[in-house]
Amino acid sequence: AQTVTQSQPEMSVQEAETVTLSCTYDTSESDYYLFWYKQPPSRQMILVIRQEAYKQQNATENRFSVNFQKAAKSFSLKISDSQLGDAAMYFCAYKGGATNKLIFGTGTLLAVQP
């Protein structure tokens, strides 16, 4: 079965600095997608970025980028120029395999210090 692990329950970053959130996953599949979702205090889950396993190029969305290491099964999220509005819980998620269901990690709570 596929699993997603986020080993950092909490992280903190200074405003305007860069922070990297870690995510590792376990799968025997070769075709899958990985996602980062943001959950602010409002609870609304918002898709931040997605990465297809077959693409070697790391995905980028404005200040958000990923470091996808397929062989190491690692999928970290880098937030550049951190803003107060980036403070949230961030979930890493995997989708693939026979069921194609979203499997979530336990989340990383990011605090942004002014």
Partner 1 sequence: NAGVTQTPKFRILKIGQSMTLQCTQDMNHNYMYWYRQDPGMGLKLIYYSVGAGITDKGEVPNGYNVSRSTTEDFPLRLELAAPSQTSVYFCASSYSADRADEQFFGPGTRLTVL
Residue with tokens 């942004």: 112
Query: Residue 33 interacts with partner 1 (CB under 8 A)?
Result: yes
Query: Residue 63 interacts with partner 1 (CB under 8 A)?
Result: no
DSSP code at position 15: T
Query: Residue 91 interacts with partner 1 (CB under 8 A)?
Result: yes
In terms of CB distance, is 30 or 114 closer to partner 1?
A: 30
Query: Residue 64 interacts with partner 1 (CB under 8 A)?
Result: no
DSSP 20-59: EE--EEE-S-SSEEEEEEEE-TT---EEEEEEETT--SPP
User: What one-letter code names the amino acid at 29?
Assistant: E
The span from the CA of 55 to the CA of 101, in Å, is 20
Query: Residue 44 interacts with partner 1 (CB under 8 A)?
Result: yes
* Number of residues near partner 1 (by CB under 8 A): 25
Among 14, 17, 45, 84, binds partner 1 (CB under 8 A): 45
DSSP code at position 7: -
- Interface ranges with partner 1 (CB under 8 A): 4, 9, 31-33, 42-47, 50, 52, 91, 93, 95-96, 100-107
